[in-house]
Homo-oligomer: A and B are copies of this chain.
Amino acid sequence: MVAYFWFNFGYNNEIRILDDAKVQNVRVVDRFNNRQHIIGTIFLTDKHLIFVDPEGKRETWILHSLILSADKLPTTQQGCPLRVRTKHFFSIEFIIPKERDCVELHATLNQLKAESHEKLYCYLYQAPNYLEKIWDPFLLATEYMRMGVPNRDWKVEDSNSNFDMCDTYPPIIYVPMSTTKQMLIGSSKFRSRGRLPVLTYLHPNGASITRCSQPLSGFSARCLEDEQLLQSILKTNSHSSTMYIIDTRPRINAVANRAAGKGYENEDYYSNIQFKFCPIENIHVMRGSLQKVLDACEMKNPSMNQYLNALDSSSWLQHIKAVLDAAIFIARAIDIEKKNVLVHCSDGWDRTAQCCSLSSLLLCPYYRSIHGFRMLIEKEWLSFGHKFSDRCGHTRTSDNKEQSPVFLQFVEVVWQLTQIYPTAFEFNERFLISLHDHSHSCQYGNFVGNCEKDRLDLGVKERTYSYWNYILQNVNDFKNPLFRPQSTYASEVLLPTIHSQTLKFWMNMYHRFDGSILPKENIPNTLTHLIDHTAALNDHARLLEKRIRELRTILENANEQTNHSTTSLPEQDGSSSETEPSQTANKNLPPLSLSSDVESGINSDYSPSDRTSVSPPLNLQHQSSGEIDDIPTIERIAFELNSIALDWRSYQAPLHCTCSLPFDSAQRKYNCWRCGENFCIRCIEHGVRLPGLYSNSLAPVCKTCARSIKSSLSMFENSTPNKSNDQKQAEMKSSLSINDENKI
C-alpha cells in the first residue's frame, strides 16, 4: 500500500478528479494478514485510480493503462469486494461499503482501456518540464556501422524502403554482398510473413547472427533463392565451412507446422547446414506458465510445500532456462565455433527476438551498457517487429490469445544474468523493472504498435515522449553501483554455465508489492548510498589537500620573502588596511586576498622549481601549476568547509522524508551532500555546484541547503572585492537574484 507509482507513471501536478468518482470508507485487506486492514478513499482521475489512506499518509496510484483486470467478487457482510490487478503484478482488493458504488466503479474501470491506438495514454501524457518531446534519433544504420557493416561481406539493401517486401521489417536491411534482388524477393516469398534472413549481429571474428521466420516448406517445397541466400550467408564467414540454423521451437511444434505448409529447412536441400532445435515453448504455454506463477504469488498463507510446488509446477524457471540455454548455445557457436547462425521460430518475432538479443548481449559488452542496451532493444525488438501491442494487450480490441510475456521473459533472463555477473552490467534492477513496466504503461510512444510501420503510421515520434529520454534524464537512478567497466566480465564475451541451481525466482519483480515478504532493507540502495558518500568525501578531500598545499606554499614563501611590509594590529571590528600587494616573480598568480578585512603582508610567490624540494623523501601528488591559480579568501575556505557533510545519515535513515512521504524499498532515498540528511526525489535538487568539491561537479542537495548555499554564495560574493575566479562565480550567480545591499 504505497506510493509506488507517483513518479514513474504519469504523475504531474495537474490531476483532474472525475465527477462523482470518489468512494469513501473503502477497506483494503492485507493479503498476507487478513486481520490487518486500511481504511481510505478511492479517487478516480482521468489517468489514475488513486487510493488514499490519510492515517498512513500513503497513496496508491494506479495508472489506468496498467490495469489488467477489475473483478467484482461475491458480496460479503463487510461490503462488496473489487479486485484490481495490474500488468506489473500489483493486486489489491477493495471492500466497498455500498454495492452500487462497487458496480459503478467496476463498470467505469472496465471502460477505461483504450478503444484504439489513438486513445492510448502516450497521446495524453503531460511529462514533467525537464522532458521534451524530443526523440534522440535511433538510426539502425548507426548501430550497423558500429559493428563494421557495410563491409566487403555485407551490404545495405533498401528494397524494403516502402515496407513492400516485409511490412514488419525496417525500411533498410543488411544482407550478404553477393545476394541479388531476385534472391531476396524469392526468399521473402518463401518465408512466413515475408521475413527473409537478414543480418542482426556481426561478431568481431566475422561470425554473424541472422534472423528470419520459418520457411513455407511444408513437406517438400523448396525455394532456390532462399537456398542461395543461405549459401551467401555461409560464405560471408571464412572461418567455417558450415553454419547453424537454429529453430527455437520444440521439434514437435516445428513438425506440426509442416502440415500447415510451413515448417523448417530440409537439410537435403541446404548444403553445409547444421540444423538444431533449441526448444522454447510458444506464447500460449508461456502465458499459462506466467498465470501459474501469479496464482502462486497470490496464494493466501500457503505452506512451504504448496508454495514451492506451485512455483515448480508453473515451469516458469524452466522456460527461462530454455531461453537462456538457447542464447548461450548461439553465443558459443559464434564465439567458440566461429560459425554463422541463422535463428528462426515461427514468425520470427518472439523467440527469435529473445534469442538474438540475448546472444548479442552475451557476445558484445557494448550491449551491457545502458546506451548499448537501448540499441539492442531498438534493433532486435522494435525494428524487427516484436508485436508489443498484441503481446501486451495495449488496446481493448487486442486478442487475449495474442498476449504473452515474451518481453518479460527477455527482461528476466537479463536479470538472471545480472545476478550471475553483478559487475558486468551498467544498469540495475530498477532499470529492468522500469523497462518491463513501460512496455505496458503506454506512457511513452516507444512500445506502441506492433512494428516500425505501425509507429510511423501512429506518428509516435511527433506526438509522444520517448522512454529513452526519460531514462537518460534520470540515468543515475538506473545505474548499477557494482558495475566495473574494466573487469573481465564487463569487457568480454559471457559464456556462463547455467545450472538449475543458478536461477532464482525474481522476488523483486513478482512480489515487489508484497512488502511483508521482502527484506526490510534494500541492499543495492545502501550500496548506491555508500558509493555516493565515498565520491563526495573523495572529492572534498582532494579540494582540502589542494588548499593545504596552497596554504603551505604561502607560508613557505612568506618565510623566503626578503622584502616585507609592516602591518599594524587590526582592530577587532575589522577595519581593513589595504596595501599594494607585491607581485615579484609571479606571473600567473592573482593577488592573494587572505581575508576581506585583512589584506596585506603575505603574498604568495609560487615557483614550481621549489616544489619538489619541499619534503625530499616524499613526493606530493596532484601538484600542478594550474591548481594554484585561484587561491581563495579565508571566507571562501570556511564556506568550502561548511558546504560538505562529512557524516551522512546513512542506514539510520528516517522512515519518512521531511515532506512526510514514507520511504520504502521502492522509493529511492537521496542524501543531501551538504547536510547529509535523507530526502525523497521531490525534496532534492540535483544540479547544485558545491564550493567544497574539487571536481566542480554537480551534486544533489536538499532544497533548504540549495537556498542556503546560493544565498551564502551571493553574500560572500558581494563582500569580497578581490575575486580570483570572477567568471566562475558569475556563472553560479546567474541563477540567483542578488541583493547588492546585503553585506552584513
Q: Which residue of B lies closest to A302 (CB)?
A: B500
Select A303's contact among B306, B500, B547, beta carbons within 8 Å: B500
Query: Are the C-beta atoms of B520 and A523 separated by less than 8 Å?
Result: no
Assess whether A554 is interfacial by the CB under 8 Å rule: yes
Complex interface: stretch among A154-162, A183-191, A230-238, A634-642 = A634-642
Contacts of A297 in B (CB 8 A): 501
Contacts of A556 in B (CB 8 A): 594-595, 598, 634
Shortest Cβ distance from A630 into chain B, in angstroms?
Answer: 16
Query: Are the C-beta atoms of A567 and B559 separated by less than 8 Å?
Result: yes
Contacts of A554 in B (CB 8 A): 555
Complex interface: stretch among A66-74, A269-277, A308-316 = A308-316
Assess whether A534 is interfacial by the CB under 8 Å rule: yes
Contacts of A538 in B (CB 8 A): 537, 646-647
Shortest Cβ distance from A104 into chain B, in angstroms?
Answer: 35
Contacts of A568 in B (CB 8 A): 562
Contacts of A715 in B (CB 8 A): 617
Q: Using a Cβ–Cβ cut-off of 8 Å, how many residues does chain A contribute to the interface with B?
A: 110
Assess whether A739 is interfacial by the CB under 8 Å rule: no
Query: Are the C-beta atoms of A500 and B304 separated by less than 8 Å?
Result: yes
Shortest Cβ distance from A583 into chain B, in angstroms?
Answer: 17
Assess whether A620 is interfacial by the CB under 8 Å rule: yes
Select A559's contact among B486, B507, B598, B638, beta carbons within 8 Å: B598
How far is A561 from B564 in the complex, measured between Cα atoms in Å?
13
- Could you tell me which residues of chain A, from 722 to 739, have a CB within 8 Å of some CB in chain B? none
How far is A715 from B715 in the complex, measured between Cα atoms in Å?
47
How far is A558 from B569 in the complex, measured between Cα atoms in Å?
10
Query: Are the C-beta atoms of B312 and A309 separated by less than 8 Å?
Result: yes
Query: Are the C-beta atoms of A564 and B564 separated by less than 8 Å?
Result: yes
Shortest Cβ distance from A465 into chain B, in angstroms?
Answer: 34
Contacts of A33 in B (CB 8 A): 497
Query: Are the C-beta atoms of A560 and B551 separated by less than 8 Å?
Result: no
Query: Are the C-beta atoms of A308 and B311 separated by less than 8 Å?
Result: yes
Assess whether A716 is interfacial by the CB under 8 Å rule: yes
Assess whether A615 is interfacial by the CB under 8 Å rule: yes
Assess whether A616 is interfacial by the CB under 8 Å rule: yes
Query: Are the C-beta atoms of A501 and B497 separated by less than 8 Å?
Result: no
Q: Which residue of B lies closest to A321 (CB)?
A: B304
Query: Are the C-beta atoms of B614 and A642 separated by less than 8 Å?
Result: no
A532-564 vs B, Cβ < 8 Å mask (1 yes, 0 no): 011001101110110111011011101111101
Given A423-B651, A552-B551, A559-B598, A574 contacting B646 (CB threshold 8 A): no
Shortest Cβ distance from A87 into chain B, in angstroms?
Answer: 21
Shortest Cβ distance from A89 into chain B, in angstroms?
Answer: 13
Query: Are the C-beta atoms of A517 and B501 separated by less than 8 Å?
Result: yes
A593-617 vs B, Cβ < 8 Å mask (1 yes, 0 no): 0110010111000000000011111
Query: Are the C-beta atoms of B564 and A569 separated by less than 8 Å?
Result: no
Contacts of A292 in B (CB 8 A): none
Query: Are the C-beta atoms of B558 and A601 separated by less than 8 Å?
Result: yes
- Could you tell me which residues of chain A, from 415 to 468, have a CB within 8 Å of some CB in chain B? 419-424
Query: Are the C-beta atoms of B552 and A634 separated by less than 8 Å?
Result: yes
Query: Are the C-beta atoms of B646 and A541 separated by less than 8 Å?
Result: yes
Select A517's contact among B423, B502, B641, beta carbons within 8 Å: B502
Query: Are the C-beta atoms of A500 and B306 separated by less than 8 Å?
Result: yes
Contacts of A182 in B (CB 8 A): none
Assess whether A318 is interfacial by the CB under 8 Å rule: yes
Q: Which residue of B lies closest to A650 (CB)?
A: B484
Assess whether A572 is interfacial by the CB under 8 Å rule: yes
Given A306-B500, A501-B507, A423 contacting B521 (CB threshold 8 A): yes
Query: Are the C-beta atoms of A487 and B651 separated by less than 8 Å?
Result: yes
Contacts of A639 in B (CB 8 A): 615, 618
Q: Which residue of B lies closest to A558 (CB)?
A: B602
How far is A311 from B501 in the complex, measured between Cα atoms in Å?
10
How far is A537 from B543 in the complex, measured between Cα atoms in Å?
13
Query: Are the C-beta atoms of B566 and A617 separated by less than 8 Å?
Result: no
Given A302-B501, A559-B598, A615-B639; 18 other pairs, CB 8 A cutoff? A301-B500, A304-B318, A308-B311, A308-B500, A419-B519, A423-B651, A482-B651, A487-B651, A497-B516, A526-B527, A537-B537, A542-B646, A548-B637, A558-B602, A564-B564, A564-B566, A618-B639, A621-B641
Question: Could you list 27 A-B pairs, sorted by A, with CB under 8 Å?
Answer: A301-B499, A302-B500, A302-B501, A304-B317, A305-B315, A307-B501, A308-B317, A420-B519, A421-B520, A422-B519, A422-B523, A487-B651, A489-B520, A523-B527, A527-B527, A530-B531, A537-B537, A549-B641, A555-B594, A558-B601, A560-B570, A560-B598, A562-B567, A564-B564, A614-B638, A618-B635, A618-B712
Q: Which 3 A-B pairs have the closest CB atoms?
A: A537-B537, A544-B544, A307-B500
Task: Identify the A interface with B (CB < 8 A).
Answer: 32-33, 297, 301-309, 311-312, 315, 317-318, 321, 419-424, 482, 484, 486-487, 489, 497, 499-503, 507, 511, 514, 516-517, 519-521, 523-524, 526-527, 530-531, 533-534, 537-538, 540-542, 544-545, 547-549, 551-552, 554-556, 558-562, 564, 566-570, 572, 574, 594-595, 598, 600-602, 613-621, 634-635, 637-639, 641-642, 646-647, 650-652, 712, 715-716, 744
